[in-house]
Amino acid sequence: MDGDAAEAIVSDRELTDGFHMVIDALKLNGIRTIYHVPGIPVTDLGRMAQAEGLRVISFRHEQHAGYAAAAAGYLTGLPGVCLTVSAPGFLNGLTALAHATTNCWPMILISGSSEREIVDLQQGDYEEMDQLAVAKPLCKAAYRILHARDIGVGIARAIRTALSGRPGGVYLDLPASLLGQAMDAVEGAESLIRVVDPAPAQLPASKAVDRAIDVLKGAERPLVILGKGAAYAQCDETVRRFVETSGFPYIAMSMAKGLLPDIHPQYAGAARSLVLKDSDCVMLVGARLNWLLGHGKGRQWGEPGSKRFVHVDIEPTEMDSNQSIDAPLVGDIESVLESLLERMDGWKKPSDAWTGAVKAKVSANVDRMAPKLVNNSVPMDFHGALGRLRRVIADNPDAMLVNEGANTLDFARSIIDMYKPRKRLDVGTWGVMGVGMGTSVAAAVETGCPVIAVEGDSAFGFSGMEVETICRYGLPVCIVVFNNSGIYRGTDVNPVGEDPAPTVFVPEARYDLMMKAFGGEGVTARSPDDLERAVREALDSGKPTLVNAIIDPAAGTESGRIGNLNPQSVVKKT
């Protein structure tokens, strides 16, 4: 065939290209939303994705698009997708990818990149960077696709890697030249892969289940700790049946709150110190014995050697990471709990002596807290303000609660009861400030429920510009800024000069005006009554709202409840 004839045949055929194949591959695998910041070389990818029916949420900064994708992964059990431009945009998205991986949430950071030939010879391309190498240590896996015919495989690998086993972040590098590569449309479509069963059930070995049942039967003072892995697993009914059949008291890690309602009779959250110290057997379900649990040792855990541990996790290497595990149960939470339940007919529940002691402690602590939560003091303290938000959530159990800050986080976690699974989204395993607005956007977009974002004023500042994103998409997000004019407190003074102390902000800053600037509602609340009214109005209206809640600048404590982690100087203060 001469050249002209071949060309005629080719041009008669329908062509596709890298842009469209990426979009088709994502859609084929159920991805519906892309969190994004446009620019070279992915501007058209975002536009075309929107034109092809994907929801494209365009942010002001990639970090927040990334946090949105991370939260979307946690909420949906499908990888959240963030799309960024090369080098600086990629780097801005990377913190979120590492955050997703640290939290065991599925996410894919897709970034455009410069030309390989130029990058590899370091010849100074536009936004040149060896992004694959940079991403590798910060995620589960990093892949690069060089040819349009490999897009199907590349996206399939990214999805399966993000979802299977312990979920996590995946980096997918798309050089600019890939996107424009042409391919026969039929061959292109045939090369795409729909990932079948991306998170396969992983059954525990029968011996491991027997061993765990023996340990649990031998326990006199058992305790279950539910972690966010149990919430992520979306087997809520199985978790409930296991907890209720066992009769064990349980506590919930921050984001597992509401997996069973926090008002459940077996919930021992208000007796946390007692159950950690006095239990003789602790069963961890999708929770790691990391810093958040004091590594399973130290005073809060009672006498060394006083406990046996049963650990349910999909990741085998998590076992014994901090404490010797007597009964490792490696598998997915649903399969593991179902296997246990099969052996629990006629289960003998723990003694009244234990469950009664726990309940007594819970009610004593709840009673002690109650009066603090109904105060209407001005200036507001954390208890007065959060007591009202607690009531609002009780009346609106479907609302999503986003929460970050130090005191604002720690108090809200213990004061605000959650009633339904996966409603509480916060700073996660790293304690990252700045997740607030990205997470709020994802919470609204992925669930369609109203969002209340309870934000320290410092925490809010990390992502404050995204209020424009919230207004632009008209999302039902009510941000409550706990404005104590600083990080932890607003009272520090510089002992030697004119500059403000490093932890304080402009006093009583008008965060409410930021929301007004973009067409949303902005309100200042000085009393708990004002605050409650403003948040209820925001929920009723569904309009983007920012409530600037003025909190006593002296009310907080250093680092909230983790001040003990601050290193201490040995030099005496002058």
Question: Using CB under 6 A as the criterion, which residues of the chain lie in contact with ligand ADP when the complex forms?
Answer: 103-104, 166-167, 227-229, 232-233, 253, 255-256, 286-288, 290, 292, 313-315, 318, 332-333, 429
- Of residues 469 through 488, those in contact with ligand TPW by CB under 6 A are 482, 484, 487-488
Applying CB under 6 A, does 93 fall inside the site for ligand TPW?
no
CB of 556 to ligand TPW, least distance (A): 5
Applying CB under 6 A, does 548 fall inside the site for ligand TPW?
no
Applying CB under 6 A, does 354 fall inside the site for ligand TPW?
no
Among the residue ranges 88-96, 133-141, 481-489, 512-520, the one whose residues contact Mg ion (CB under 5 A)? 481-489
Question: Which CB atom, from 89 or from 296, has the smaller least distance to ligand ADP?
Answer: 296
3-state SS assignment for residue 483: strand
Question: Which CB atom, from 420 or from 526, has the smaller least distance to ligand ADP?
Answer: 420
Tokens linked to 474 = 């008209």
Among the residue ranges 49-57, 229-237, 279-287, 451-459, the one whose residues contact Mg ion (CB under 5 A)? 451-459
DSSP one-letter string for 491-502:
----SSSSSPPT
Question: Which CB atom, from 78 or from 314, has the smaller least distance to ligand ADP?
Answer: 314
**Cα dihedral angle (386, 392, 394, 395), rounded to 10 degrees?**
170
* 522 membership: H or E segment, kind and range: strand 521-525
Helix spans in 343-420 (H): 352-373, 382-395, 407-415
CB of 540 to ligand TPW, least distance (A): 27
Applying CB under 5 A, does 168 fall inside the site for Mg ion?
no
CB of 323 to Mg ion, least distance (A): 35
Rounded to 10 deg, the angle between the 436-447 and 62-76 helix axes is: 40
CB of 511 to ligand TPW, least distance (A): 11
Distance CA(311)–CA(212), nearest Å, equals: 9
The size of the interface with ligand TPW (CB under 6 A), counted in residues, is: 18
Distance CA(14)–CA(9), nearest Å, equals: 10
Which partner, Mg ion, ligand ADP, ligand TPW, none, binds residue 318 by CB below 5 to 8 Å per kind?
Answer: ligand ADP
| Closest C-alpha among 161, 165, 169, 154 to residue 74 | 169
Distance CA(21)–CA(50), nearest Å, equals: 14
Among the residue ranges 264-272, 366-374, 452-460, 511-519, the one whose residues contact Mg ion (CB under 5 A)? 452-460
Binding residue for ligand TPW (CB under 6 A) from 46, 154, 222, 560?
Answer: 560
The size of the interface with Mg ion (CB under 5 A), counted in residues, is: 3
CB of 109 to ligand TPW, least distance (A): 18
CB of 455 to Mg ion, least distance (A): 9
3-state SS assignment for residue 267: strand
Tokens linked to 558 = 């250093």
CB of 567 to ligand ADP, least distance (A): 24
3-state SS assignment for residue 284: strand
CB of 451 to ligand TPW, least distance (A): 18
Applying CB under 5 A, does 296 fall inside the site for Mg ion?
no
Binding residue for Mg ion (CB under 5 A) from 331, 456, 461, 522?
Answer: 456
Which partner, ligand TPW, ligand ADP, Mg ion, none, binds residue 315 by CB below 5 to 8 Å per kind?
Answer: ligand ADP
Applying CB under 6 A, does 458 fall inside the site for ligand TPW?
yes
Tokens linked to 301 = 């855990």
Which partner, ligand TPW, ligand ADP, Mg ion, none, binds residue 431 by CB below 5 to 8 Å per kind?
Answer: ligand TPW
Distance CA(30)–CA(23), nearest Å, equals: 11
Which partner, ligand TPW, Mg ion, ligand ADP, none, binds residue 104 by CB below 5 to 8 Å per kind?
Answer: ligand ADP
- Of residues 404 through 423, those in contact with ligand TPW by CB under 6 A are 405-408
Applying CB under 6 A, does 279 fall inside the site for ligand TPW?
no
CB of 293 to ligand ADP, least distance (A): 7
The answer to whether 38 touches 46, Cβ cutoff 8 Å, is yes
Our CA angle for 126, 183, 129, nearest 5°, is 20
Distance CA(2)–CA(172), nearest Å, equals: 39
CB of 483 to ligand TPW, least distance (A): 8
Applying CB under 5 A, does 548 fall inside the site for Mg ion?
no
Distance CA(201)–CA(235), nearest Å, equals: 12
Binding residue for Mg ion (CB under 5 A) from 313, 457, 521, 530?
Answer: 457
Applying CB under 6 A, does 428 fall inside the site for ligand TPW?
no
**Helix %, strand %, coil % for the chain, to 5?**
45, 15, 40
Widest pairwise Cα distance in the chain: 91
Residue 282 — left, alpha, or beta (φ > 0 → left; ψ -120 to 50 → alpha)? beta
Distance CA(22)–CA(33), nearest Å, equals: 13
Q: Which amino acid is at 190?
A: E
> CB-based contacts of 490: which residues, under 8 Å, 6+ apart?
484, 504, 505, 507, 553, 554
Question: Which CB atom, from 70 or from 251, has the smaller least distance to ligand TPW?
Answer: 70
What's the full length of the chain, in residues? 574
Distance CA(272)–CA(251), nearest Å, equals: 7
Q: What are phi and psi of 456, to 5 degrees?
A: -60, 150
| Closest C-alpha among 264, 232, 111, 217 to residue 168 | 232
Residue nearest to ligand TPW as judged by C-beta position = 456
Question: Which CB atom, from 232 or from 354, has the smaller least distance to ligand ADP?
Answer: 232
Residue nearest to ligand ADP as judged by C-beta position = 229
| Closest C-alpha among 93, 57, 103, 108 to residue 444 | 57
Applying CB under 6 A, does 553 fall inside the site for ligand TPW?
no
Residues that bind ligand TPW (CB under 6 A): 405-408, 431-434, 456-459, 482, 484, 487-488, 556, 560
Residues that bind Mg ion (CB under 5 A): 456-457, 484
